[in-house]
Structure 1
Amino acid sequence: MSFLPLGVECTHLEVTTPHLPSTLGWAPPSGNWHNGSNELADDGQTPFFVAKNYAQKYLNYENGYKLLAPVQKGPQSGGNFTMDTITMSAKTSNSTVDTITPKQPLAFQLEEGQLSVEVDGESAQLIQDDVLFVPANTTFSYYATVPVTKFLYVSGGADGFDQDLLQNSVEWEYAVYPTYADYSA
């Protein structure tokens, strides 16, 4: 089906879309916005903006790849909570399943992909928009079953779910993890 008038042939179509905030006459007052890295504030009193995929990023390469993008660290929330997005590679046959016992309660909301979880002997496959809540001091395991599994997580306290992952991560400038196996810094 064609939406062009009869006899008109489309050989090249160029569509440009202006950046929405600047189109509306609004953008964050200083710093980068969709054109460079967005830094988180150093405290809980300073407002800040984080554009998708422009936050600081860290690559953890234990048991596959986990790309962490902190949105809220402990200092920015006055020690009340941490929040990140995590993008994971699928579990390979030779990797182990991550099993942790978080010090703080945490919740995941899956954005894309599929995440296999086990909490107190109950297992589930989370898909887009599914939510998981894990109480503090509850052991659970998790792994991605498909490539590019991404979720948002919120954890109570300043020492959230991401703390152990960040300790064994390297700074990363890309919005995706490496395309090849066995990366090491």
Structure 2
Amino acid sequence: MPTMQNHSYSFTEPDSTLLAFITPGGFEHFYWNVSVPLVDPTNAPFAPDIHTRFLESTFEAAIGPVFDVIPIFNSQFSYNFTNGTTNQSAPWHNGKTTAPNNAKEPYYLANNWSQRFLHRATGQVIQPRATAVQSGGNFTLSTMVMRGRAANETTAEYTFDVPQFFQILEGTMMIRMMCQTVSMSTGDIAFIPAGTAFSYWSEVAFTKVYLGCAPAGGLSDALVAQAEPWAYGVFPSYFGNLTNSTSA
């Protein structure tokens, strides 16, 4: 989503996760100002049986003097989730969705219906979500699925001049950096500073992650540059030559 765009969001399931990748930083202060600490005796992530009244006037007063955010209450959402969209001329989970070639237009990308690339040698499928083109050079954000590491495979090592991050969505991913290897599972996050050598691989048959960097020019771009267009959301049964150490 570009700057200066109106937007709304609403959770429709009892347990939902929203990943917001915002650059430059600072918007987290918005949430700190409009929320209150949650203390639950059972240590639940949220308390569905405790109904806290949402005070619109308090919310507006809290953000008005500090943030350039104008709340519009009682707005109506469209819930055309699958095989349709509010804009009837645009595909949604029933056709290819693409990102614009500029940093001015907001857009939506349906999972596994946007542009995909296969890095055949490593059996990884990369789906760019926001590239330097859409972010104005500020960051890149992609999802990536990968197969399990083969028994005779040499894991590639990467070094970039921009920081990277990973968040595990599914599966188990190993990351090695600074002479330390960590096993990461669903929800775990790794931050890799610029100039830090690292390697990664999947310990299970299927792993899916978010990966990003700021500004652009990190792992996602390096993999896509060596990849081929791909029509599927998962990797094929044949991977090609296994990789050796590399640096970017």
For normalisation by structure 1, the TM-score amounts to 0.82
Matched, 1:43 2:102: yes
Question: Where do 5+ consecutive residues of structure 1 fail to align?
Answer: 1-19
Q: For this pair of structures, how many residues does the alignment match?
A: 163
Please show how residues 151-162 of structure 1 align to structure 2 within 5 Å: 151-162=209-220
Runs of 4+ with deviation above 4 angstroms: none
For each residue in 1:100-145, what CA deviation from the matched residue of structure 2 results, as whole angstroms up to 9, or x when unmatched?
A: 0022111110000111111111110000000000011110110111
Structure 2 segments unaligned to the other structure (5+ residues): 1-78, 242-248
Residue 61 of structure 1, aligned match among 120, 128, 135: 120
Residues 49-99 of structure 1 deviation map (CA, whole Å, 9 limit, x = unaligned): 10111110000022x301000000111000000000000001001211121
In 2, Cα distance between equivalents of 1:50 and 1:58: 15
- In 2, Cα distance between equivalents of 1:41 and 1:123: 38
Mapped contact 1:106–1:154 kept (Cα < 8 A): yes
Asked if 1:27 is matched to 2:86, the reply is yes
Once the two structures are TM-superposed, the CA of residue 22 in structure 1 deviates from its matched residue by 5.8
Counterpart among 202, 220, 237 of residue 144 in structure 1: 202
1:113 aligns with 2:175: no
SS, match of residue 221 in structure 2 = helix
Greater strand proportion: 1
- Equivalent pair of 1:27/1:33 in contact (CA under 8 Å): no
Higher relative contact order (CA 8 A, sep 6+): 1
Other-structure match for 2:238? 181
TM-score, scaled to structure 2 = 0.62
Letter matched to residue 222 of structure 2: D
Structure 2 equivalent of residue 97 of structure 1: 155
Identical amino acids, percent of aligned pairs = 30
Q: Distance in 2 between matches of 1:182 and 1:83?
A: 24
1:22–1:114 CA distance, 2 compared to 1 (3 A):
closer
Shift of 1:160: 2.3
| Cα deviation, residue 158, structure 1 | 2.3
